[in-house]
Amino acid sequence: MSYSNSSMGSGSRTGRRTFEFGRTYVVKPKGKHQATIVWLHGLGDNGSSWSQLLESLPLPNIKWICPTAPTRPVAILGGFPCTAWFDVGELSEDCPDDFEGLDASAAHIANLLSTEPADIKLGIGGFSMGAATALYSATCFAQGKYGNGYPYPVNLRAIVGLSGWLPGARSVRNKIEGSHEAARRAASLPILLSHGLCDEVVPHKHGECSYQALSLAGFRNLSFKTYEGIGHYTVPKEMDEVCNWLNTRLGL
């Protein structure tokens, strides 16, 4: 399996499909570089829009990497092609997860982080489908491997998921409980989940269920924030909480 990246795009090859990732946008730290976070956009978006918001945050010691997902047919859109980290049908426990697509995106993200200096703290965050991919990456880190069995190569220190859900929630507990090392990594990884109570795209209950699944699987360092009156978007108060949480958890 080979993964490559450049500033304009890259491909991740798996057994059946090749995924061509779009452009990656980088926001350089304004102060001393202490942490690097890959931030993942939602369905149909690209890395540019989030890079502009992240650049405005009062987090001068963080470098932000904002990749763009591959363009692919998406089942929930009737097969219409758009940027997506993985294929998704309806959001329900009965809907199968696209682990091939998830593994390819998780590997692309880890590849972006793997070239950072050894003393830099690493994290992943995202919105909606980007949050789902960040949470999937968290489970890969805890297990020490992707769903396809290849080793997970980077040490994560923080995960942020806004208005998202946990792919593979039904099986994550069994995958982590069987390994002392996996349980140790899960217990030590800080994760912030936040969700609007009026979200009609990814209903709030999916955030709650994700929190419960992660907690049952042994992720102990969990925070779940609910925002009343907020739909499927982010607001300044939520981003203020993200900034405070990252400053505390990463010791910035």
Active site residues: 128, 199, 232
In angstroms, rounded to a whole number, what is the distance separating the alpha carbons of residues 181 and 235?
37
What SS3 state is found at 131? Answer: helix
C-alpha pair distances (Å), 10 with each of 142, 178, 239, 240: 26, 35, 29, 32
Q: Which of 61, 65, 86 is nearest to 76 (CA)?
A: 86
Q: Which of 194, 226, 1 is nearest to 106 (CA)?
A: 1
Kindly tell me the burial class for residue 174, based on how many C-beta atoms sit within 10 Å of its own C-beta (0-12, 13-18, 19 or more): exposed
Size (the chain), residues? 252
Q: What ranges in the chain are assigned the alpha helix state H?
A: 47-55, 99-114, 129-143, 172-177, 180-188, 204-216, 236-250
Amino acid at 154: V
Q: Which of 124, 154, 141, 127 is nearest to 36 (CA)?
A: 124
Contacting residues for 73 by C-beta, under 8 A, at least 6 apart: 79, 80, 81, 87
